Amino acid sequence: MKANLPQREPDFLKRWDEEKLYQKLLEKNKDKPRYIFHDGPPYANGHIHYGTILNKILKDIVVKYKNMSGHLCEFIPGWDCHGLPIELQVDKDLGPKKAKMSPLEIRKACREYALKFVDIQRAEFKRLGCMGSWDTPYLTMSPQYEAAIAKEFGRFVKKDLVYCGKKPVFWCPSCRTALAEAEVEYQNHKSPSIYVKFRVADEEILRKNFHLSNEPIYVVVWTTTPWTLPANLAIALNPQFTYVAVRFGKEIWILADGLLNKILEIFGSPDVEVLVKFNAKDLENLHCQHPLLPRKSLIILGPHVTLEEGTGCVHTAPGHGYEDYEVGRKYNLEPFAPIDSAGRFTQEVGLDWLVGKKVEEANKPIIERLKEIGALAKEESLEHTYPHCWRCHNPIVFRATEQWFISMEKNDLRKNVLKAVDQVHWIPPWGRNRIFGMLQNRPDWCVSRQRLWGVPIIAVVCETCGVASTSAELVEKVAKIFAENNGADAWFDLDISKVLPKNFVCTTCNKKTEFKKETDVLDVWFDSGASYAAVLEDLLKVEIPADLYLEGSDQHRGWFHTSLLESMATRGKAPYRRVLTHGFVVDADGKKLSKSAGNYIPPEKVLKSHGAEMLRLWVANEDYRSDIRFSEEILTRLVDSYRKVRNTCRYMLGNLSDFQPGKDEVPYEKLQEIDRWALHVLQDLVKEVMEGYESFEFHTIAHSLTRFCAVELSSVYFDVLKDRLYTEAKAGVPRRAAQTVLFKILDTLVRLMAPIFSFTAEEVWQMAPAFPGKESSVFLTTLPEPQEKLQDA
C-alpha cells in the first residue's frame, strides 16, 4: 500500500464519478433528516487559491460528516458570475473592438469569460476530493437565478424600501462606478495633512457678544483631502464641546478647548492667549468666508466631531462624505460634488485652474493657492489607511451621484436585522459583534452600479420630467420575462414597450409618457445575497433558515451581511441558523501570501508533489478560526503526521490479510486484557472525534487521529501484539483475538478518517477484509458511535 498520492488520487476521482458516488450517497439518505448547508459562491475569475481551497475543503468535511452521520446533506456549489472584475478583464481583452459592440455582444463576452473560469475552478475543486452537484451548480448569471434576483428586488420595491437619490457613495474613478463597502479595501496611503483658516464672516457678532478685539477671527479646520475644499459648504462643531478663541500672533483662532494643547505642540507652542471660552451652540449658524471661492460656509453642529485629531472644527463637504452629508441634510445643504465619473473637476467647481484636473492632481495647486492667500496655517504629511478599490487597487473617493438605495430605516429594517443577529449561532462567537457593529452603523445600501455586466435595476426614466421610477408591477413583469426568456439579456434586447405594464404612469409627474430604461445594474452583492431564494427555495425546495453558512471572516461585511439584509426585508427571518467563519491564509510568519513576496507556492505544484490529501490534512490540522499558516515547512511536518496514520493502516491491513470477519472473530469474553484496553481507548477516540465533528473543531480530530495511531496503537498495542501475531498459530485463538481487535480498530478508524483523509480512507476501505453487506465505498457507511459497553471495559 504505497502512497503515491499525486498519481493515485485521480483514479479515485474517476471511480467516484463513474460510480456516481455522490448520487448514491443522496439516494441512501433520502429519507433521513435534511441538513441544509448552503455554499457561498466564489467569484468566477482566475484559478483557485489557498483561501478558496481552505473554504471548499472545510465545506467538504462538513458534507461528508453530515451524510455519514444520519443526515441528507446536499451540496450545490455555486459561482458569482456578474460584476466589475469580469467586465474589466473583458474590456481589456476586447480592446478597441468594444466601442463597436452592442451591449448584448459585450454581455455575451462576459458570460463566456465567466463560464470559462467556472469550468476551470470546478475541475480544480473536484481535484481536492470535494463532493457535490458539480454537474448542476448554481450560477448567478443563469436565467433562473437572474429571474430570482429580479423577484427579490421586486419585493423590496413592493415594501417601499427602494428609492433613487443623490448622496455620497464610495466611487472608483478608475472603474467609473459606485462600490459597495465590501468592495473597498484599506491600504496604507500618504496624504497631505493641512490646517486651513476660514475667516469668520460674522466677526462683528462675535466681537459684540464676546468682547473680542479687532484682529481677524478664523475658524481653523484640518483635512487630509485638500481636493475636497472646493466642495466645502460648512464647518461642523460638536454641540457637547467647549470652544476657545485664542490669540495666535495677530490673529484670533477658534478651536476646540480639548485639542488646544495638542495644537500648540503641532504648531511649536507659539505665543497664544486664551481670550474666551464658549459653547458650540453660540457659534451655530454663523458664517465663514470660503478661502478659495466667493461664497460662505455655514457653522453647523454634529455629534460626529471628535477630539481624536484635528481642531474640533471639521471641514464639511456634503457631496464627499457620508457623515458630512447626513449632518448637512439637517441644515438643507446640497450634496455638492464638482467631479465627474473619472474623478476630474468639472466647470461646477468654480475655479478655472482646477477644471479637468484629477482629484489627486488637485491637492498640490490647492495647497499652493492657500499659501498665496495666507489661508494655510500648517502643512504636513500623514501615513494612514485609506480606502482603495478592491479590483484596480487605486484610491477611491466619496462622490455624491444619483444612485438607487435600499433604506435601512423604513419598516424598521435595521432594528429587525439587529434583533435577528442575536438569534443566529456565530462560530467563533466574536462574529456576532463584528456583523452587529457593521449593520448598526452602515448607511442605506447603494445597490446601483454604472456597469453593463449584471442584472439591471428594473426602473425607467420619464422623458417628460427626467425622474427615474419603478413599481412592483413593473419588476414582476420583467422578472417573468427573465424566467421565460434568456434571463436579464432581455432587458437589453426588448423594446421598452415590451417591458412596461399596461397603463404605466410616471410616479412623479403622474403622466403616461415616453420612458427609457434604466442603464445601471444591481450590486453583485445583491445577486449573491439572494441565493437563499434562488437556491434554497427555488432549487432545493426547502424553507429557510439554512442550517449552516460557512465562509471567510471577510463575509461579515459581504455575503453574510447582504443575505441577512435581504432575507429579513423580504422574509422577516434570517437565512441561516448557524454561521461559521474561518481566517485568512498567511505564510509561516503571518504575512500575506503573494507571488511577489516569494512566499506563494502554486497549488498545482503542491498537488503534483504531495497530492490533495496533504492539503486536506493541512486544512483539518489548523484551527481555522484564526489566520491559517501555510508553507513548505508546514507541509513537510504534515507529511510526517500523515505517514503515522498511513503506516498504522498499512500495519493493520498487512496483519489482516488472512482474516475473515465473522468467521474468524473471537468473542469479547475471550479477548485478553490488553485487547479490551485497546477497544476501550478506541471508544475514547470515537467520542473525541465525533465531538470534534459536531462542534466543527476539525483540528482536534486531526490531532486525535494522529496521536491515537502514534501512541496508543504503534507505541503500546502493536508493540505488545508482536509475539501473538508472528509466533502464535495462524488460526489459534490468541492470534485471531488480536486480529479481531485489529479489524474493529481498522473498521472504526477508516470511517472516522473519511471526511478528512478522503483518499486514504477510501483506499484502506477497498483493501480491508470483505464481509457480508460491506458497502462499495467508505462514504456509504455510517460513522461509528461510542459503545458504552466497551468504554466501561
- The reported pLDDT for the residue numbered 793 is 53
778 and 64 Cβ atoms separated by less than 8 Å: no
- The reported pLDDT for the residue numbered 613 is 97
The CA dihedral of 289, 291, 293, 295, to the nearest 10 degrees, is: -10
Classify domain 630-791 at the CATH class level.
Answer: mainly alpha
For the segment 568-583, the average pLDDT, to the nearest whole number, is 98
Give residue limits of the domains in the chain.
32-161+408-457+520-582, 181-389, 630-791
**DSSP notation for 393-408:** --B-EEEEEEEEEE-S
Q: What is the DSSP letter of 780?
A: G
At 2, the pLDDT band (50, 70, 90 cuts) reads low
417 and 565 Cβ atoms separated by less than 8 Å: yes
Written in H, E and C, the secondary structure of 453-479 is: CCCECCCEEECCCCCEECCHHHHHHHH
pLDDT at 741 over 60: yes
Q: What are phi and psi of 207, to 5 degrees?
A: -60, -40
User: Domain 181-389 maps to which CATH number in 3.20.20.100, 3.40.366.10, 3.90.740.10, 1.25.40.10?
Assistant: 3.90.740.10
Question: How many angstroms separate the CA atoms of 170 and 67, rounded?
Answer: 44
Largest CA distance in the chain: 115
What's the pLDDT tens digit per position in 433-462? 999 999 999 999 999 999 999 999 999 999
Question: How many angstroms separate the CA atoms of 496 and 475, rounded?
Answer: 13
At 201, the pLDDT band (50, 70, 90 cuts) reads very high
Residues 6+ positions from 256 with CB-CB distance below 8 Å: 237, 238, 241, 242, 243, 244, 307, 311, 312, 313
What's the pLDDT tens digit per position in 338-360? 999 999 999 999 999 999 999 99
Cα(first)–Cα(last) distance of the chain, in Å? 33
Q: What is the DSSP letter of 626?
A: S
Percent of the chain, pLDDT > 90? 87
Q: What angle do CA 757, 761, 764 make, to 5 degrees?
A: 145
Q: State the CB neighbour count (10 A cutoff) for residue 288.
A: 26
At 3, the pLDDT band (50, 70, 90 cuts) reads low
- The reported pLDDT for the residue numbered 787 is 84
For domain 32-161+408-457+520-582, give the CATH superfamily: HUPs (3.40.50.620)
At 304, the pLDDT band (50, 70, 90 cuts) reads very high
- The reported pLDDT for the residue numbered 16 is 98
- The reported pLDDT for the residue numbered 672 is 95
Question: How many angstroms separate the CA atoms of 394 and 381, rounded?
Answer: 19
| Averaged pLDDT of the chain | 94
For the segment 467-490, the average pLDDT, to the nearest whole number, is 95
How buried is residue 282: exposed, middle or buried, by Cβ count under 10 Å (0-12/13-18/19+)? Answer: middle
Percent of the chain, pLDDT > 70? 99
- The reported pLDDT for the residue numbered 792 is 57
pLDDT at 791 over 60: no
What's the pLDDT tens digit per position in 306-334? 999 999 999 999 999 999 999 999 999 99
What's the pLDDT tens digit per position in 247-287? 988 999 999 999 999 999 898 876 788 999 999 999 999 99
Q: What is the DSSP letter of 623?
A: -
Q: Is 679 helix (H, G, I), strand (E, B) or coil?
A: helix
- The reported pLDDT for the residue numbered 120 is 98
Beta strands (DSSP E) in 290-430 are 296-301, 313-316, 376-389, 397-406, 425-427
Helices (H), 455-611: 472-484, 489-493, 496-499, 524-529, 531, 559-571, 603-609
pLDDT at 597 over 90: no
What's the pLDDT tens digit per position in 656-686? 999 999 899 999 999 999 999 999 999 999 9
Q: Please name the residue that has the C-alpha cell 482566475.
A: 46
